Structure 1
Amino acid sequence: MLERPRDREVVCHASAWDIDLVDDLRIKMCVEITGEDFATVHHELGHNYYQRAYAGQPYLFRDSAHDGFHEAVGDTIALSVTPEYLVRIGLIDRAPDPSRDIGLLLYRALEKIAFLPFGLHVDRWRWDVFSGAIAPADYNRTWWAETARYQGVAPPSPRPESEFDAGAKFHVPANVPYMRYFLAHLLQFQFHRALVRAAGVSGPLHRASIYGSAAAGERLRAMLEMGASAEWPDALEALTGERR
């Protein structure tokens, strides 16, 4: 599914699917022609290429080194969606001068750095719910108390304890562990830096794209093909030369 159906309600949250753990790979997404969705498509394709790469592993190893790796790979690919990349694929005529990058950098900071406290908050709250440390009657109160603690954010209006505001985040009712995204927001820049170096690209990382680099592709593929057959520090070292 790539377009929102007109005849029924669907979950449009983007996701990548490995139907048979072999080669039936799909993306579920209600694509709109926006810059955000363009980057999201690259992210989801990152998942699909990871799934394709480890398909040759024994069944139990057909997964990422840990959950954070799967999300990090998708985000690493999206980091190569740079102005220069857009020129090369014909979407824009000319890349803006680097002196005008402040908007791009601020957007990236809001997207990546501001996310970290939220990424930590979601799973810490979920873990306390699962352990019983937070009673059902306190779900909403503690959600907002921890939102204020980790993010410094308050609700726009008083929230009754009978509501379940955490459920507005897709991953909470879908029971998708969220720590993977917190870890991925750290790992993706480590991956990106290593691949940019392998590609021999110079200049600031936020302008560096590995598009078209066979050397970077081989480095990435070698790690992806490992799947879950090795400990995650080994997979990290295969890609970056570092174990943490």
Structure 2
Amino acid sequence: MQKPFLQERGLIPAEASSDEMQTLLKEALNYIVFIPFSAGTMSRFEHELYVKNLPKDEFNKRWWELVARYQGVEPPAPRGEEYCDAASKTHINDDAAQYYDYALSYILLYQLHDHIATKILKQDPRATNYYGNQKVGKFLADIMRPGASRDWREVLQEKTGEELSAQAMLRYFEPLRDYLKTVNEGREHTLEDI
């Protein structure tokens, strides 16, 4: 929840201050860090498991190869095929092919938020309050109303004038990206170039 909303609702004092980089970092850890896992590791593993019939004796090896590639994380200890670490995510077993939905929803969240903040309310997307705003409510209702009766991509294009894009998310986190580039200059990273 953003500061203007919290202040209007009386949940924080008007003079309250916060560290913008810490706020953005916390938000990025909730959303951005999850995307390589959901759209990369999980979706790729499920594709290889269900479409390409990944052999049982390669489940764990392949899981950790994907985790390393998309997330830059290594297993905490050697993990043989007697383990099936991918199964720790219940979706693998009982709700397959759902994690890419989460990745799309996070990108869409920022795209819709940016549209609401900049086009409807004319506010900074990082300091927006649309609580109780009827124009925002109508916009969201108009987007949701068709449900599954129409292709969501057509509805998005019609209501926002844009195709699905991560540009709004990139703009939102641009101050954090610039900050992290500065403080991490000269450090090595573990992620390969994808």
> Per the shorter chain, which TM-score range?
0.7 to 0.9
Of 156, 165, 170, which aligns to 2:90? 170
Residue 35 of structure 2 corresponds to 116
> What amino acid is aligned across from residue 101 of structure 1 in structure 2?
E
Asked if 1:185 corresponds to 2:106, the answer is yes
TM-score, normalised to structure 1, is 0.61
Report the alpha carbon displacement of residue 122 of structure 1 after superposing the two structures with TM: 0.2
Hey, what's the Cα distance between the residues in 2 that align with 1:162 and 1:141? 10
Hey, what's the Cα distance between the residues in 1 that align with 2:92 and 2:78? 22
Asked if 1:147 corresponds to 2:67, the answer is yes
Residue 36 of structure 1 corresponds to none
Of 76, 82, 102, which aligns to 2:21? 102
* 1:43-58 mapped onto 2 (5 Å cutoff): none
Hey, what's the Cα distance between the residues in 2 that align with 1:126 and 1:193? 32
Matched residues, percent identical?
30
Of 198, 208, 211, which aligns to 2:131? 211
Which 5+ residue runs of structure 2 have no aligned equivalent?
165-194
Q: Map Cα deviations across residues 205-232 of structure 1 (whole Å, 9 max, x no partner).
A: 1221321211111011011101122222
- Provide the alpha-carbon RMSD of the alignment: 1.9
Aligned residues: 162
Answer yes or no: is the 8 Å Cα contact 1:87–1:93 preserved in 2: yes
Answer yes or no: is the 8 Å Cα contact 1:83–1:95 preserved in 2: no
Hey, what's the Cα distance between the residues in 1 that align with 2:82 and 2:30? 31
Residue 16 of structure 1 corresponds to none
1:235/1:167 CA distance change after superposition, 3 Å: same
Hey, what's the Cα distance between the residues in 1 that align with 2:7 and 2:90? 34
Hey, what's the Cα distance between the residues in 2 that align with 1:234 and 1:132? 31
Report the alpha carbon displacement of residue 105 of structure 1 after superposing the two structures with TM: 0.8
> What amino acid is aligned across from residue 212 of structure 1 in structure 2?
G
Residue 51 of structure 1 corresponds to none
- Which has a greater percent of helix? 2
TM-score, normalised to structure 2, is 0.75
Answer yes or no: is the 8 Å Cα contact 1:198–1:216 preserved in 2: no
Hey, what's the Cα distance between the residues in 2 that align with 1:190 and 1:149? 27
* 3-state SS of paired residue (1:92): coil
Of 105, 111, 115, which aligns to 1:194? 115
Residue 63 of structure 1 corresponds to none
Higher RCO, 1 or 2 (CA under 8 Å, sep at least 6)? 2
> What amino acid is aligned across from residue 115 of structure 1 in structure 2?
F
Residue 222 of structure 1 corresponds to 142
